[in-house]
Amino acid sequence: MRLILAGSPAFATNVFMPLFDCEDFKIIGLICQPDKPFGRKGELKPPHTKQSLAHTGVPIFQPARIDDAFIAQISALKPHAIVVVAYGVILPQAFLDIAPCINLHASILPHWRGASPMQQMIVHNDKYFGITAMKMTQRLDSGEILALSYMANTGQNISELGAQLSARGARLIQYVLTHLDDIEPLAQSDADASYCAKIKKSDGCVRLDSAKDVYSAYLAYCEWPHIFIQSPNGYTLKFFDTTLIESTQSHKAGEILAIESQDIIIGCARGSLRIKTLQQEGKNKLHAALYVRGKRLNVGDVLC
């Protein structure tokens, strides 16, 4: 089977890699987003898939837009199927008509259609996490379901969940491609759908109302944008290396309950958290105990 792959981030790389080792598939092209400026110097940085799969020798396409000329170029390669994983670009119907386009979406559809499904599954403490293979249409993540794989929520953070779901996705797409003619697609129920937008920096801002909710946000955003509180003194304070102590006892929000050798324990209106590392806006990370001592904060004070 002649395959075109379309995807940009590391999640897509992890799904695509095993396809190169399968004798049933011939990879004839990789589509990913253009290189983008990165860092203070604005040096161009290629997408993860381009960096990781260049050694395979597969032709790599990085169109600025999916226009008629590009569609004709891909059509001329005569793919039997196109596998799309976190490509991040809306594909026009003319592109979808080239060959069956199969998308892997990191949620149990129709829940969490959109740009940040893994983070939303974690933030909302879903009982199960999963990944779905579907036929692509122009409607956002609304195509017929071909197969899905799911697992229990065991407290994974976003890095762990991404690794687990991409591994499952790699197996799932191989199954779908191998059995494509035999699978009976299942229509999604729009009535059961939920949606999620792209993560913004402001999503990391937390209120110390529920320790359980703060911890869920930490698990979801520990790669970016991280979780932080807004200090009444005008700066943000990021939390790193955070764990949930308990989720039921009542405390004053932000109260320092204990100062240990490196860590601190703070209270929320419901529950408490252990924090190992803090970072005040514009400054270096510090062990949390060192930070509060530097601020001359004691047990019973409010973290700020």
Handedness of CA 291, 294, 298, 304 (dihedral sign): negative
- The tokens for 7 are 């995807």
**Largest CA-CA distance found in the chain, in angstroms, rounded:** 70
110 is in an annotated binding site: yes
Handedness of CA 11, 17, 19, 22 (dihedral sign): negative
Residue 41: burial class (beta carbons within 10 Å; 0-12, 13-18, 19+): exposed
122 is in an annotated binding site: no
* Antiparallel, parallel or unpaired: β 60-61 and 36-38: unpaired
Peptide bond into 110 cis (omega under 30): yes
The annotation places the binding site for (6S)-5,6,7,8-tetrahydrofolate at 107-110
The annotation places the binding site at 107-110
